[in-house]
């Protein structure tokens, strides 16, 4: 005679996460009672992975676990924004210098194709034009290094906050 297992109802959730962080997300979601749904394989994209998860509907402390989960997701979003902030300012500065350099090169081009050519003006405008094309890479690198030094402590603080949230969630299970 077959032994009957009790019915378990599940809540389902689908998450799409960056591929390099998939393991960390899975570990953290398990602290909130979620487990991978073995019935559906994860979907691997170019840079993201989509995973289906399930959680017992009758789980104890469900409201508190859900609150902690939302707090975890907010922290992850803040970390993603901080990671983008490392390069966004640097990109803006590098692009600005590059566009200004291009404007100087356009002026140099107009000076040389003028009838009669104004060679002295072409040379005068070409020098900052070439600098505007050469310097953006170094400006980008230095700005990213500077912003990384400023932002890295904030990211580490958020990661520590995530670990504390997961610890609380795990203790509620």
Return the percentage of the chain with pLDDT > 90, whole number.
70
DSSP 8-state symbol, 48: E
pLDDT at 127 > cutoff 70: yes
Q: How much is the pTM?
A: 0.77
Classify residue 165 by burial, with Cβ atoms within 10 Å: 0-12, 13-18, 19+.
buried
Range among 17-26, 49-58, 134-143 rated most confident: 134-143
pLDDT value at residue 85 = 93
At 60 the pLDDT is: 86
């Amino acid at each position: 005679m077959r032994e009957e297992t009790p019915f378990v109802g599940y809540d389902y959730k689908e998450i799409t996460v960056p591929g390099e962080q998939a393991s960390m997300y899975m570990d953290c979601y398990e602290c909130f009672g979620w487990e991978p749904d073995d019935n559906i394989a994860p979907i691997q994209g170019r840079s993201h992975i989509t995973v289906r998860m399930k959680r017992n509907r009758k789980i104890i402390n469900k409201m508190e676990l859900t609150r902690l989960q939302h707090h975890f997701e907010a922290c992850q979003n803040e970390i993603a924004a901080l990671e983008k902030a490392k390069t966004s300012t640097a990109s803006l500065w590098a692009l600005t210098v590059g566009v200004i350099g291009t404007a100087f090169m356009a002026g140099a081009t107009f000076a040389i194709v003028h009838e009669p050519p104004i060679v002295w003006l072409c040379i005068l405008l070409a020098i900052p034009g070439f600098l505007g094309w050469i310097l953006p890479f170094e400006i980008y690198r230095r700005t990213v290094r500077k912003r990384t030094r400023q932002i890295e402590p904030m990211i580490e603080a958020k990661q520590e906050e995530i670990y504390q949230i997961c610890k609380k969630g795990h203790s509620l299970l």
